[in-house]
Amino acid sequence: MTEFVFAPPAPNGVPVRGGSARFPVRRVYCVGRNYAAHAREMGSDPDREPPFFFCKPADAVSYVADGETGSFPYPPGSNNVHYEVELVVAIGKGGRDIPVEQASGHVFGYAIGLDMTRRDLQNESKKTGRPWETGKAFDHSAPIGPIVPVADVGHPAKGAVTLAVNGVEKQRGDLSDLIWSVPEMVSYLSRLFELQPGDLIYSGTPEGVGPVVKGDVMHCVIDGVGELTVKVV
């Protein structure tokens, strides 16, 4: 039996809708600028960029149950924290160099999530050419709803993606607007990393990202996948 100098933390698990089991989170990959309008909004040319990725720690994933309002603690060190609603892909079968036509077979299910961003710190990192961790990988930066198994939701390739703040719609897109589809991003990512069961991929956000302050309530919907409500505290 392995002896540790202190007890290792329990794995972070996201409940699976319709059952009692939890999906153990291993790694969190995020795709940058995967909607054309958002890429332009952030000053990029979506027609020229291959997909790129950044990571969040597994314990940044913060679960919110169906019908409940989760809490997002406003993070320190920032005065400009933005919301980004995203489809989350849950990997159930690992692999390396996965062909596009086989990639869907590696997906366990899908969820709705938020990629919360300290935009001021991210922008400073961009200017200095430094990593994005301070802007993206902070505590509680990845709220998520329950994972819906493929058996129940299929592989959604179209459907509205929306986010409202205090009842006012701020983001609207469609899964069909993704520059890189789910099979394409899974395949591409598997050429850079060996994917494993438990990996999550946040697939990118539509245009309309913007700031929130304490007291704001974000309500997110992806047709066919679910809803997510989170209050900034």
pLDDT of amino acid 38? 56
Determine the Cα–Cα distance for residues 127 and 146; give it in Å rounded to an integer: 36
Strands laid side by side in the 81-83 sheet: 117-118, 81-83, 210-212
- What average pLDDT score do residues 47-74 get? 92
Tell which phi-psi region holds residue 204, choosing left (phi > 0), alpha (psi between -120 and 50) or beta: left
Q: Which residues touch 46 (CB under 8 Å, ≥6 apart)?
A: 33, 35, 36, 39, 40, 179
Q: Which residues touch 112 (CB under 8 Å, ≥6 apart)?
A: 85, 86, 87, 88, 144, 145, 220, 221, 222, 225, 226, 227, 228
pLDDT of amino acid 96? 98
pLDDT of amino acid 138? 97
User: pLDDT by residue (tens digit) across 135-192?
Assistant: 999 999 999 999 999 999 999 999 999 999 999 999 999 999 999 999 999 999 999 9
User: pLDDT by residue (tens digit) across 17-41?
Assistant: 999 999 999 999 999 888 876 556 6
User: pLDDT by residue (tens digit) across 44-59?
Assistant: 666 657 888 999 999 9
SS3 18: coil
Q: Which residues touch 36 (CB under 8 Å, ≥6 apart)?
A: 46, 47, 177, 179
User: pLDDT by residue (tens digit) across 95-132?
Assistant: 999 999 999 999 999 999 999 999 999 999 999 999 99
Determine the Cα–Cα distance for residues 213 and 177; give it in Å rounded to an integer: 29
Question: Are the C-beta atoms of 112 and 83 separated by less than 8 Å?
Answer: no
pLDDT of amino acid 102? 98
Backbone phi, psi, residue 54, to 5°: -135, 170
pLDDT of amino acid 45? 64
pLDDT of amino acid 157? 94
pTM: 0.94
CA 92 to chain centroid, in Å, comes to 16
pLDDT of amino acid 1? 81
- What average pLDDT score do residues 202-224 get? 97
pLDDT of amino acid 14? 98
Structure tokens at 129: 């050419």
Determine the Cα–Cα distance for residues 189 and 198; give it in Å rounded to an integer: 15
